[in-house]
Amino acid sequence: MYIDEGPSAPLSAIGRAMDDFAGNAASGRFSLNERGGESLLAAIRNMAEWVDSQQFGFDLLLQSPKLGSSNNAEVMKPFLQLVAGDEQGFVTQLKQFRESLVKAEEGIKQAMANYRATDDSNATKY
């Protein structure tokens, strides 16, 4: 659950987590076998594909909504655009999430390479 910590709160928790994930994989802190890695890669690629396929809808969210010209509509129009597109907005956060999927994919590939290297190293011992 996200708790709003105010305008100065860091909102890139997903990005930081993916950086940590990729860093841990690069440093060999964990590894994944081929089957597990491919399953995770498939899930990541499916999510990335979905986000990419929704770009037109996200662009629509950033436009001024057609709510009419009443006082309430005029008040809501800019608010809805902010909810979608400011630094904490839905579209902004989803774009950051999309970028984090690239980092996650890199981390998983590295973790799979770690597994292969460990497996090969252990095989030469026997």
Q: Which residues contact 64 (CB under 8 A, 6 or more apart)?
A: 77, 78, 81
CA terminus-to-terminus distance, the chain: 48
C-alpha span between 44 and 6 (Å, rounded): 30
pLDDT of 12 reads 64
Task: State yes or no: pLDDT of 46 exceeds 90.
Answer: yes
At residue 26, does pLDDT exceed 80? no
**Location of structure tokens 């590295």:** 110
Using alpha carbons, select from 86, 94, 82, 87 the residue that is nearest to residue 57. Answer: 94
Confidence of residue 54 (pLDDT cuts 50, 70, 90): very high
**Can you point out the beta strands (E) in 5-60?**
none
For residues 7, 8, 12, 13, the Cα torsion angle rounded to the nearest 10 degrees is -100
Which domain, by its residues, includes 55? 32-118
- pTM here? 0.73
Q: Residue 1: inside a domain, yes or no?
A: no
What pLDDT does residue 83 have?
85
Average pLDDT, the chain: 84
Residue 100 domain-assigned?
yes
Report which residue type is found at 49: E
Q: Is 4 domain-assigned? A: no
| Residue 51 within any structural domain of the chain | yes
In a domain, 54, yes or no: yes
Q: Which of 12-16, 79-83, 89-93 has the lowest mean pLDDT?
A: 12-16
What domain count does the chain have? Answer: 1
